[in-house]
Amino acid sequence: MSNLNNYPVESFPGKLRDVIETLHEDTLIPIEMIGSTVLAALSLALQPLLDVASPYGNKKTEPCSLYFLTLAKSGEGKSPLRELLMTPFDEFASEMHEEYEGLLDIYKQDHAIWSSKEKALNRNYQKAVKNGDDGDVEELLLREHQAAEPKKPRAFEMFYEDATPEGIIQGLSEYPYAGVFADEAITFFTGQLKNNLGLLNKIWKNEPLQVSRKKEGTVRINAYLTFLLMVQPEVFEEYLERHGKRAVSSGFLARFLFTETISTIGQRRISLNQDNSRQALDNLFTNLNKFLIEQKEHFYDTSKSQKTLTLTEDAKKLFEGRVSQYQLNIAQNQCWEHIPEFVSKAGSQAIRIAAIFDCYSESDISEQYLKNAFTITEWHLNQAAKYFYKLSAQYQLQQDVYQLFDWIKNHFVNPTGVMKVTNFQAGQVTDVRLNPWQPFSKNELETHGPARLRRIERLTPALNQLIQLGLIVTICYPPQRAIYIAAAQPDAYGNLYPLNPFFTPFNMVDYRNNATPPLSGYDSNRLQWQ
């Protein structure tokens, strides 16, 4: 098994683990992509059938709906994997569509007959009124007939790919359980649906949607969606450039279990003997078909309710401890500091996954199932933390530091122009040509430094980082207050002093203070004078 991304496949229940491992061994499709697709398939199958009681003790329940976003290169196996694991759903959707067409034909025939009778009854009523009768009997017959109008069968739509927000809302008003599954999700990231993030956020939280209907007016529905978006990295990066800040700040991306796939292209072997994966898939499909039959019952009988799972007392204690720890992990300088939006959804993600793991059981969700679900959730959090770091304020600050250091280093090595220096003993101001590695005025940095760092609110944090890293110090020559940038040099005791000051005396203005350490994670090779 080639688990290059350290995906926690061992956290899956045995039967699901067999599917993921054997399918990976037979195809060498990245195991993390297989695991996400298996979970998405189960989420889609189960979301009409079960939910989870809130660990906080309120009446609100959690659906078992999950949002997955997987970055994978072209040729990684996205389409074959989707086609394979979605086979039961495709067959089920075709069956339901065929039934719908049959029921629709019957409805059209019945409604045509009903319309003819309605016209006749309406004529009788109008005739009675015209002749001076009260028409009570005719009116009663007409009302009874109108109340018996044949109902149009509901359309069953399970998948949406390139749908408009209006189309999805309309579809969910017919059947409120569906999935957005796209193995090449460029249509999502370039289509209209991405522009209605509020709608998708509400669905994830299972908040009611307002739907307008011709006869009923505005009604409220609780909709459920499972997302499986697999997209090429360059497509997603382009999306982030255009819409990333909005998608992150709105909380939309934070609702996804994120994966950046490690490619297995070039490492795969052809195996014609796929008996192991075929057997494991048959077992999975047997259960999926069972769940889909139950879905069908729920579709035709809307009075059927979902089964609500609850956490055991031990599982509740585990939930409380993990969620509390996660809050510590988003504190300043901690591992998830830059993804608080993702972390805030982690508890919900874990109990949804645990519910899926527990779908074969009639008992409450165990501590072990929840522990395993948290392990998978944490893996996805670490994936998000690694990928979205480049959108963080910390990353941007580090990039500013690298750029500022390069400019300062070049200025020390290749100084240009002159600097006015006051000789206070002589009372004269003279122009001094700058030599390499001499201090230079901070004003030079503010007026001629990197363009994006000339604003003081952008420059100051980056400059302070270089000071805290012990690379520079700032000095002044009393009685002047003008600030100068100088390369820092340590003495035998580790104390920092300016390199090559013009003259003494000078005062140290800012220098390394170990009580306020710089950010971690710098590439030391990019912050060397030599």
* pLDDT, block means (10 residues), the chain with 530 residues: 90 95 92 97 95 87 94 90 94 95 96 95 91 87 94 89 73 88 77 72 86 68 91 88 76 92 77 82 95 94 88 96 95 86 96 91 87 98 92 89 97 81 67 85 92 93 95 91 93 90 88 82 92
Classify 397 as helix, strand or coil: helix
Q: CA-to-CA distance for 459 and 400, rounded, in angstroms?
A: 8
Q: CA-to-CA distance for 412 and 136, rounded, in angstroms?
A: 102
Q: Between β-strands 67-71 and 256-260, what pairing exists: parallel, antiparallel or unpaired?
A: parallel
109 and 40: one domain? Answer: no
45 and 184: one domain? Answer: yes
Q: Where is the domain boundary, 375, 390, 405?
A: 390
Q: Where is the domain boundary, 339, 373, 390?
A: 390
- pLDDT value, residue 416: 75
CB-CB contact of 294 with 60 (8 Å): no
- pLDDT value, residue 165: 73
- pLDDT value, residue 216: 61
132 and 245: one domain? Answer: no
323 and 206: one domain? Answer: yes
* Structural domain that includes position 501: 416-526
Whether residue 399 lies inside any domain: the answer is: no
In terms of Cβ atoms closer than 10 Å to its own Cβ (0-12, 13-18, 19+), residue 84 is: middle
Buried b (16+ CB within 10 A) or exposed e, 455-493: eeebbebbbbbbbbbbbbbbbbbeeeeebbbbbbeeeee
230 and 311: one domain? Answer: yes
C-alpha distances in Å from residue 345, one per residue of 12, 53, 145, 512: 21, 16, 52, 39
Whether residue 406 lies inside any domain: the answer is: no
Q: What is the longest distance spanned by two Cα atoms in the chain?
A: 124
Q: CA-to-CA distance for 54 and 518, rounded, in angstroms?
A: 41
CB-CB contact of 366 with 246 (8 Å): no
Q: Where is the domain boundary, 390, 406, 436?
A: 390
Number of domains, the chain = 3
CB-CB contact of 448 with 442 (8 Å): no
CB-CB contact of 35 with 42 (8 Å): no
Whether residue 181 lies inside any domain: the answer is: yes
CB-CB contact of 506 with 448 (8 Å): no
- pLDDT value, residue 252: 86
CB-CB contact of 257 with 66 (8 Å): yes
138 and 231: one domain? Answer: no
Classify 337 as helix, strand or coil: coil
Q: CA-to-CA distance for 56 and 245, rounded, in angstroms?
A: 31
Whether residue 61 lies inside any domain: the answer is: yes
13 and 58: one domain? Answer: yes
CB-CB contact of 38 with 228 (8 Å): no
92 and 115: one domain? Answer: no
